[in-house]
Structure 1
Amino acid sequence: MATFQSVTTVTFFRYQSWANRWWGFKQMGLAGEVLDQVDGLRFHKMLGSGAGNGFSIWPNFGVYGLLSVWDNEGAAERFFQKHALFAESRERCAGWWTVYMEAAKVHGVWEGEVPFPITTDYDPARPVAVITRATIYPHHLWRFWRFVPPVSRSIEDKEGLLFSVGIGELPLVQQATFSLWQNSELMTAYAYRSKYHKEVVRRTRELGWYKEELFCRFHPYRTEGDWEDGRTPASVLAFVP
């Protein structure tokens, strides 16, 4: 297997019991200090998720994410194989799933920096994962969230969509999305032809909803985990030829 420099991973954990959900919720505040000490981890964010299909004003206390940028694949593997925090997360969760990705296109910043260095050429025929992230101006919150429900419904059952979830660091204000598609053609067909999504993009540019925003496309090349009953959200897709 090839070794990539500067790898991005995103891991989702699904918790069931209230005790484990409470533990997962607490990691939103506690895990950062632990992750700061992990060798080879250059950027990390603990992320909550939304209820329903993930794009909701209401939180989902059963699903959390960990977004990480590593110096190399070896550093990521050491964390997932040996670190006590990940081991406890796996022990407590009912399902987990990790995607390894290379950044191919990026626009914007996250807390004033670009955390995802470009490490591969963009290939529209390959599977593509997309992360969008924005900090919403407080005085635009009601306008933004007014448009979320129809956009959320419009993405369901879209051709080529393998997985999608709304995630974020702070409820309501700092919001992100992660989606995984069979290829870029099917992803852009939704992004630029869906009337609801197009309307949000138009109003974003017109009204300036965001204090900060970032959009990044990745090529995923490896997945690990057991999300539910031996399946992962991308089990139908072979990332590595």
Structure 2
Amino acid sequence: MGQTVSLSFFRLPSVADRAWALWMMGAARRPLAKVADIGFWKLCGSGTGVGFSPTLFPQVIAILATWPSEAIARDRTATAPIFRKYAERASETWTVFLSPETARGNWSGVTPFEPSGAKSIGPLAALTRATVRPGIMSRFWGRVPRISEIIGQDPNVIFKIGIGEVPLLQQVTFSIWPSEQAMAAFARTGAHSDAIRAVRTEGWFREELYARFTIQSDSGTWGGTSPLAALEAA
């Protein structure tokens, strides 16, 4: 039985709901920490675009969490009171359940994911999380929007979103791809490969984490359907 990672998205329809979610960025921390069987967790807001973004998009809230198994993850994300509070406010919710394949780096000083070491031959998800060094923020945000634009135009990416803990400084990108080959082809694009080199040579990030996951299943809809339906069609 391996670790399962859940990533839940909640679309908030009204200004009142978004104001509530902003208040909950602090108030939800204790209830989340008390959910039975939850391991590492993060409550995130979202940005515009499909990758790292400096512009807030308050309509979407995300909760990432780790669990001992997929069955437990499914039960807790559906029944735990704090998850239900978000779901009751949301006009739409979607949770994807993932099995870590590989991971390197830290998140808030810890290694949250327990990779299985297995290598998927089918669809996969990728997550990048980084804490940007304040001193290079202008250079970072001068390049990153172009990468977000490119990934948004890539016909192979099934789902993509930018979320984060602290605007401008702590950013997360999450994407789903039909295959490792499709994801690798994007990574070799000019803007993206240039940015990877800059991360190393210019020291953009104070902390970073890169992880890849096998997709187990999902629950709910996003945009009226399951994003994983596109994988089945492909």
Same fold judged by TM-score > 0.5?
yes
Structure 1 segments of 4+ aligned residues over 3 angstroms from their partners: 52-55
Deviations 1:183-235 (A, max 9, x none): 110001001x2111011111111101111110000001101102233x12222
- In the alignment, the residues of structure 2 paired with residue 108 and residue 51 of structure 1 have an alpha-carbon distance, to the nearest angstrom, of 26
Aligned to 2:135, the other structure's residue is in SS state helix
Report if aligned partners of 1:137, 1:209 keep a CA contact under 8 Å in 2.
yes
Report if aligned partners of 1:159, 1:186 keep a CA contact under 8 Å in 2.
no
* Residue 89 (1) aligns with residue 86 (2): yes
* Residue 232 (1) aligns with residue 226 (2): yes
- In the alignment, the residues of structure 2 paired with residue 120 and residue 238 of structure 1 have an alpha-carbon distance, to the nearest angstrom, of 25
Corresponding residue for 2:167? 171
- In the alignment, the residues of structure 2 paired with residue 54 and residue 36 of structure 1 have an alpha-carbon distance, to the nearest angstrom, of 27
**Greater CA deviation, 27-36 or 194-203?**
27-36
Number of aligned positions between the proteins: 233
- In the alignment, the residues of structure 1 paired with residue 181 and residue 5 of structure 2 have an alpha-carbon distance, to the nearest angstrom, of 23
* Residue 102 (1) aligns with residue 94 (2): no
**Greater CA deviation, 66-75 or 96-105?**
66-75
- In the alignment, the residues of structure 2 paired with residue 140 and residue 54 of structure 1 have an alpha-carbon distance, to the nearest angstrom, of 18
Change (3 A) 1:55 1:210: closer
Corresponding residue for 1:6? 3
Residue 29 of structure 2 aligns with an amino acid whose one-letter code is G
Corresponding residue for 2:132? 136
Change (3 A) 1:149 1:62: same
Question: Unpaired runs of 5+ in structure 2?
Answer: none
Identity %: 35
* Residue 51 (1) aligns with residue 45 (2): no
Structural mapping, 1:67-82, within 5 Å: 67-82=64-79
Corresponding residue for 1:213? 208
Report if aligned partners of 1:40, 1:72 keep a CA contact under 8 Å in 2.
no
Higher strand share: 1
